[in-house]
Structure formats: C-alpha cells, structure tokens
C-alpha cells in the first residue's frame, strides 16, 4: 500500500518531464548552471541575488536584479532559462514535500 501512495501519478510524471527538460535538455546556459539555479545552491553574485529571490520571495524581484545579472555577462536567453529553472526547482521541492508528508501520514494504514 505504501507503494501506491509513493508511486508517481500522471500529474507528477508530467511535472518531472518539465523538470528534466529545463535542467538537462538543450539550452544556452550550461546544464551545470541550470542545475545550480534549480537547486538554488552554489550560485554567486548577481545571479544568486536574482535567483534566490525567484525561489523564496519572487514578489521582490526588481528591474535592478535583471540589470545586475546582465552586467555580469548573462544574456537574455540565459536569464530566461535560469529564472525558469529556479521557479521550477522551488516548486518541485514544495510538490515533493507535500507528497512526502502525505506518505508519512498514511504509513501503516490500509490503502484508501
């Protein structure tokens, strides 16, 4: 029964397809940069400032955050990709935190 709770449903699988594409698929930013944006770990400078806000307080993102990232040499297409990776990464962590809490809540119970 625990297996049934943990198994990915169609919706989670569709989100995983999005995650896999934005991090590992073809892109202008390197897969390593995209992975760091996704996990919100190991970023530095203006990119850390911008993507940290995207992950944890998106309403505080400003024009200046983008200007600083551009000045650090990131192109528009790289920023497009990295902002998406940061947003998808944080949402994936929330999704998985919710599913893990559900699995914990029903551990040891009958399927239902």
Partner 1 sequence: MRLEVLNRGYGPGTKMLFAVIRLVSRHPVPDAAKLVFYRPDFYGARAKEFTHEAMRGPSAWSVGDRELMAAYVSQANGCAFCVGAHTATARQAYQDGPKVTAVLADLESAPVGDGLRATLRMLGKLTGEGKVGAEDMRQVLAAGVSRQQVKDALAVCAAFNTTDRLADAFGFEVLSPEGFEAGAKYLLKRGYR
Spatial CA neighbour of 100 closest among 5, 4, 1 = 5
3-state secondary structure at position 44: coil
Site string for partner 1, 5-34 (x = CB under 8 A): x---xxxx-xx-xx--xx--xxx-------
Rounded distance between C-alpha atoms, residue 111 and residue 68, angstroms: 52
Site string for partner 1, 50-69 (x = CB under 8 A): x--xxxx-xx-x-x--x---
Per CB under 8 A, 43 contacts partner 1 = no
Using alpha carbons only, how large is the chain's radius of gyration in Å?
A: 17
Are 28 and 79 a contacting pair, CB within 8 Å?
Answer: no
Binding site for partner 1 (CB under 8 A): 5, 9-12, 14-15, 17-18, 21-22, 25-27, 50, 53-56, 58-59, 61, 63, 66, 76-77, 79-81, 83-84, 86-88, 90-95, 97-99, 101-102, 104-107, 112
């Amino acid at each position: 029964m625990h297996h049934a709770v943990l198994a990915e449903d169609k919706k989670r699988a569709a989100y995983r397809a999005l995650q896999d594409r934005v991090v590992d698929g073809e892109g202008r930013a390197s897969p390593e940069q995209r992975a760091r944006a996704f996990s919100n770990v190991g970023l530095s400078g203006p990119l850390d400032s911008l993507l940290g806000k995207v992950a944890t307080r998106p309403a505080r993102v400003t024009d200046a955050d983008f200007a600083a990232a551009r000045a650090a040499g990131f192109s528009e297409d790289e920023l497009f990709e990295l902002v998406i990776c940061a947003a998808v990464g944080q949402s994936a962590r929330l999704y998985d935190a919710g599913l893990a809490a559900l699995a914990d809540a029903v551990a040891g119970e009958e399927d239902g």
